[in-house]
Amino acid sequence: MANKQVGIFVGSLRKESFNRKIANYLVSSSPEGFEMKILEIGQLPFYNEDLDNGNPPKEFVDFRDAVKGLDAVLFITPEYNRSIPAVLKNAIDVASRPYGKNMWDGKPGAVISSSIGAIGGFGANHILRQSLVFINVLAMAQPEAYIGNVAKNFDDSGKLTNEDCQKFLDAFMKAFHNWIEKI
């Protein structure tokens, strides 16, 4: 059986993003049966319906094609002002438009949020889930993933060194794998 294609969408564009470090760990420790890849979102122009009338930007077309080819989606997001970063919301909008051509439709998904504070991006996690309901991403309900005090989990080279966090993420991915298989 072919590997499931899982796209990872990282909500932070920062060079030393903790969310990207989490994504890199997940890609490097992909469970058997998964082919995980990070899909870049920083290059996407802001969604504007006027751009979609007739000749959409190449970035829109390429991104939509990439999302369409996925079996499942994983969002890893920081929390900005109790919400999700604009770049992540823009990626959701680009691949859900134009109306009637939602590339996210029916895909199993999951959310991991993180923050340098103790709450672990709780607000961003739940706001993102609201958008996922509307675009019909079938988001895994349990286990939830909030990674608080995220900076303490990595060494200076960006490697995830906290064994408890590794075990948590590995268990989360096993549950996500099972979720994908159910859907």
Residue 109 CA to residue 179 CA, distance in Å, equals 8
pLDDT in tens, 67-77: 999 999 999 99
Residue 2 CA to residue 162 CA, distance in Å, equals 32
- pLDDT of 32 reads 85
pLDDT (average), residues 44-58? 93
Pairs from 49-56 (Cβ < 8 Å, separation ≥ 24): 49/97, 49/98, 52/97, 52/98
- pLDDT of 31 reads 81
Considering only CA atoms, which of 118, 112, 159 is closest in space to residue 140? 112
Tokens encoding 40: 């870049």
pLDDT (average), residues 79-100? 96
Domains and CATH numbers, the chain: 4-182 (3.40.50.360)
pLDDT in tens, 116-126: 999 999 999 99
Categorize the per-residue pLDDT at 1 as very low, low, confident or very high, splitting at 50, 70 and 90. low
Question: How far is the CA of 66 from the CAs of 40, 59, 91, in angstroms?
Answer: 10, 11, 12
- pLDDT of 143 reads 97
Question: Of 38 and 32, which is predicted with more confidence?
Answer: 38
Q: HEC states along 90-110?
A: HHHHHHHCCCCCCCCCCCEEE
pLDDT (average), residues 83-107? 97
- Residues 6+ positions from 116 with CB-CB distance below 8 Å: 18, 149, 150, 151
What percentage of the chain carries pLDDT values higher than 90? 92
Helix or strand run (H / E) with residue 139: strand 138-139
Helix or strand run (H / E) with residue 83: none
pLDDT (average), residues 79-102? 96
Mean pLDDT for the chain? 95
Question: Of 54 and 49, which is predicted with more confidence?
Answer: 49
pLDDT (average), residues 90-113? 97
- pLDDT of 53 reads 83
- pLDDT of 37 reads 97
